[in-house]
Structure formats: C-alpha cells, structure tokens
Amino acid sequence: MSELTQRDEETQAAWPGGIAAITLFVEDLAAAKGFYGDVFQLPVVFEDDNSTVFKFGDTLVNLLEASEAPALVAPATVAPPDAGVRFQFTLDVDDVDAMVDELKSRGVELLNGPMDRPWGIRTASFRDPGGHIWEVAH
C-alpha cells in the first residue's frame, strides 16, 4: 500500500469522529440556562455574557444568545423560534416511563408520549425554552 493511500485511510478513519459541540440559538439565555440546569441536572462548564455551555457525555451543548448567531452563520440567516421543528435530540434512557415521571417532577411538559413506536422503541418528547425538541427513548 502506498504511503499516500495509507494516510488517506487513516484520515478517513479519524474523521468525522464524534460531534464535539452543538450550538443552540436561544432568545432567553437565562431561561434556557435554568431549564438545562434543572431538567438535565448538569453543571455549567463555560459561561460568558452571551452563552452557557453544558456537557452531555462527550458533546458540548452551547446555548448562544440568538442575537449573536448571525456572526456564526452568515451569510445564512438565523430562523426565528416559530419557524417550525427541523430536528430533535434523542437521549437513551433505561426506562422511559420512569424518566418521564422524573422530568415531570422537574417541571417539564411533554409534547407526546410515552408511547411505543412501530420501529420497536418507546419514546417521549418535550421542548426546551428555545423551542428545541428533546426525546427520551429506549
């Protein structure tokens, strides 16, 4: 195998790897920070005037003031929170019903579930203050 081919294979094996960070644009950073702290019970790993970062496993979730988002995505535009849902995050849990009970005790209002899906998993979904959809599943 040539040195170039071996290097290409090593690069492909290392990339893309895991998702290091996800940045969510929020209109009310204080409300989002409170929600994430209360619901997910995670510590803040970084914070400044415009963002708050939590760590989910190996992935950082950066809550960023929506007013700061255009600088990151220009020339694309930042969609308003009422533009509709385009994705959801799924967290694997051992017991969906038990987690739903815990989430409700933390003030979470469900969008749907718990329900058994035709593809063989049980799910429940909820929305954070920025309009992002989260699902617990097993």
Domain layout of the chain by residue ranges = 18-71, 83-138
Higher pLDDT, 110 or 81: 110
Q: Does 1 have pLDDT greater than 60? A: no
d(CA 78, CA 120): 35
Which CATH number fits the domain 83-138, given the four candidates 3.40.50.1110, 3.10.180.10, 3.40.50.720, 3.40.50.970? Answer: 3.10.180.10
Instruction: Give pTM, 2 decimals.
Output: 0.82
With 70 as the cut, is the pLDDT of residue 2 above it? no
* Equal fold, 18-71 vs 83-138: yes
- Is the Cα torsion angle 71, 57, 29, 110 positive or negative in sign? positive
Res. 33: pLDDT tops 90: yes
**pLDDT at 94 (0 to 100):** 95
CATH class entry, domain 18-71:
alpha beta
- Kindly state the average pLDDT of the residues 26-50: 97
